Chain A
Amino acid sequence: MAAVIRVEHLSKRYRIGLAPQKYQTLSENITFAMGAPLRAIRRVQTPAPDAMDTIWALNDISFEVQEGQVLGIIGRNGAGKSTLLKILSRITEPTEGEIWINGRVGSLLEVGTGFHPELTGRENIFLNGAILGMKGREIASKFDEIVAFSEVEQFIDTPVKRYSSGMYLRLAFAVAAHLEPEILVVDEVLAVGDAEFQRKCLGKMSDVAQQGRTVLFVSHNMSAILRLTQESIVIEKGRLVKRAPSPEAVDFYLSAGHSRDGERTWGTDEIPLEADPFRPVALRIRDSKGRVVETIRSTDPGVVEFEYELTAPVTGLRVGIYLNTARGEAVFTTFDTDDPAMFERFTNRKPGRYVSRCIIPPDTLNSGRYSLNVNASSYRIRRYFAEEQALEFNVDATGAPGMQWPEPRPGVTRPRLEWKIESL
């Protein structure tokens, strides 16, 4: 077996202010250029200037992928996964390091890119195929197959702007799926589309893997990673921290959180610049007696509290949590201003320190490990701060309904339901 991808000492640096700010205007650049001499003088005095205005999205990553391997890539948002994929598919260049790729890289992330609404389905198949690097005759020979897969035969000569979004997605996916690259990259594509579409994606992926092609699979869904990959790499803050068989890598990833014993605190250096004026302080889990704990009981109320600071007034702020199982399945999402009365009362929040606290009612969660994502945003205006898997905790089901039978109960929730038995 030969290595189809070899990555050596790969690094990618972004200038802060370039990446989030997107683009500059000429006047800004002229002002910047005029400040250059001054900065040059300052640079002599400050010891590590580079660390101040640049971030390493990827830092010295090396790995190899064998032909026919399905490799999982795990990491939090912002860990560098997307940057890695962008470099592998040659969309952007690395700052340092070298990569050898043997074969064509195709990606299910780019479905529908280059589709033109005014063109018909037929025309878009050819155009999109060419954009993805297929030759004209290659597309022509697969045309019928693509149309059949997309299930839009009837509308193939209708402009795609008249398609429903489902038809559009199916056609786009059909083209991408028939590219037949030697290396397939799948990135969170499973987050879009309906259940049927997701199933098709996964099906196509395992087909591709069975045909002996190489697949790189990026996902937050640990169940999917475990189901589809044998080996995974874990990326954390731009570094490759673990490469292991998937079950081991998933365990490593899940336990590598910064959360310790029911509390996650944020240091100043951990808060991204764009979060301003929102500054997270701590996220805690408390039991019914108010103690910070790592394990709450299913039969008792649990408290989730998020402490934060506002350095300027914020309008329409909502602070909330996404509760997931440790494997990545969503349980529920809740915000502190969900209640319309609360929403009215806290339209404007003055600068200061706040705690948003909610109670998980007793008899809600089944036993198991859970993870909290936090999010602070103003709806449709801005997302100030979000962090995935900010904190993990356990739920213990002692005393919960049905514990007289020592068997695991499937399901995320464990409600205490009122049963009635009538004899007829």
Chain B
Amino acid sequence: MTAEIKKHEPMTVYIKPTKGWASLNLRDLWTYRELVYFMIWRDLKVRYKQTVLGISWAILQPFLQMVVFSIFFGNLAKVPTDNGIPYPIFSYAAILPFTIFTKALNDASRSLVGHQNMVSKIYFPRLILPLSSVLGGVVDFALAFLVLIGLMIYYAITGGFHFFINAAWLALPFFILLALVSGLGVALWLSALFVQYRDVGYLIPFLAELWKFVSPVVYSSSLIPEKWQMLYSLNPMVGVINGFRWALLGAPSPFGMGLTISTVIAIILLASGLVYFRRMERTFADTI
């Protein structure tokens, strides 16, 4: 029997200790691009297994959150909205992009420690773990977006408030991207820190809670006094939420200094996160 030797694409690996600042090695990430897809797919498959409500959880969670916020902040505390937008839809337009960020914070930050077995046993670009976890949030986002459309139709029919699909919707991908960049930036920092410091596990829920209140989720960012606006915009989620409310609901335009600051901060978060992650990557398998 002549066994045919199947040759794979020739691949030469050169291993040496990385000194100083590690290069990003994006080529490697590209080689493994299919793994990103498989990890997202796996997360989706597994997440709602053995649940009664299944995938509807992705819709129920933000929806119920909106209901609770509307009762307590909208009706009881009478938190004002911009341009008379009904509170439920006003808060929902913020909850929506914030779920992307929360997912990054909660899941992507735990992705390395949560896959200890893989990290200590096989080689693959470690970036794939937080990256696929963050990208997986887009699927939840898309599902929850359908509820927003439903809400808008509801308000249009009952005559509470009128919305128009206009050119501003084209700006949505930019704001989604901004949310992803911010989320990934934070997740890269936290996931790499988590490998070495288990304290991060206790920090994450607290940070998620805190971040929600320093972002204009339950209130309008116009409540923040003018002199604090620039400082406030250091939180990139401020730019994201203002952008969403503007594009979808006709809230005041977010463009200006504030959004620029938010964008720059998001990019800095991502870039520094990448560098830190790559720098720590070489010891992940030894310390995890």
Contacts and interface: CB of A to CB of B under 8 A. Distances in A.
Is B one of A's binding partners?
Answer: yes
Interface of A: 14, 18-19, 22-27, 29, 86-105, 107, 109-110, 113-114, 116, 118-119, 123, 126-127, 130-133, 135-136, 180, 182, 207, 210-213
Contacts of B117: 113-114
Contacts of B286: 14, 18-19, 92
A114 B118 contact: yes
A101 B13 contact: yes
Interface in B274-288: 282-283, 285-288
Nearest to A14: B286
B12 interface: yes
25 contacts: A14-B286, A22-B287, A23-B287, A23-B288, A26-B199, A89-B122, A90-B123, A92-B283, A95-B17, A99-B14, A100-B12, A100-B13, A101-B12, A102-B10, A107-B122, A110-B121, A116-B42, A116-B46, A119-B46, A126-B38, A127-B38, A127-B41, A131-B35, A131-B118, A213-B5
Contact of B45 (A18, A95, A118): A118
B154 interface: no
Interface string B172-208: 0000000000000000000000011111000000000
A94 to B, nearest CB: 5
Contacts of B31: 133
B122 A114 contact: yes
B197 A29 contact: yes
A212 B42 contact: no
A25 B285 contact: no
B124 to A, nearest CB: 6
Interface in B14-35: 14-18, 31-32, 34-35
B124 A98 contact: no
Given A103-B11, A113-B121, A118-B49, A86 B285 contact: yes
B75 interface: no
A109 B123 CA distance: 12
> Which DSSP category, helix, strand, loop or mixed, fits chain B's interface?
mixed
B61 interface: no
Interface residues of B, number: 43
A127 B286 CA distance: 25
Contacts of A27: 199
| Central interface residue in A114, A119, A127, by most chain B CB within 10 Å | A114
Given A14-B286, A94-B17, A103 B199 contact: no
A210 B122 contact: no
B227 interface: no
B37 to A, nearest CB: 8
A98 B11 contact: no
Contacts of A212: 5
Given A91-B120, A91-B121, A98-B15, A26 B42 contact: no
B16 A97 contact: yes
A211 B7 CA distance: 11
A212 B197 CA distance: 45
Contact of A118 (B16, B46, B199, B288): B46
A122 B197 CA distance: 37
A119 B45 contact: yes
A101 B197 contact: no
Contact of B197 (A23, A118, A136): A23
| Central interface residue in A24, A92, A104, A116, by most chain B CB within 10 Å | A92
A109 B49 CA distance: 29
Given A23-B197, A29-B197, A211 B5 contact: yes
A11 B42 CA distance: 38
A163 to B, nearest CB: 16
A19 B283 CA distance: 10
A93 B13 contact: no
Interface string B218-253: 000000000000000000000000000000000000
B15 A23 contact: no
A99 B199 contact: no
B210 interface: no
| Central interface residue in B13, B18, B198, B199, by most chain A CB within 10 Å | B13
A79 to B, nearest CB: 18
A136 B34 contact: yes
B8 A103 contact: yes
A2 to B, nearest CB: 11
Interface in B116-141: 117-118, 120-124
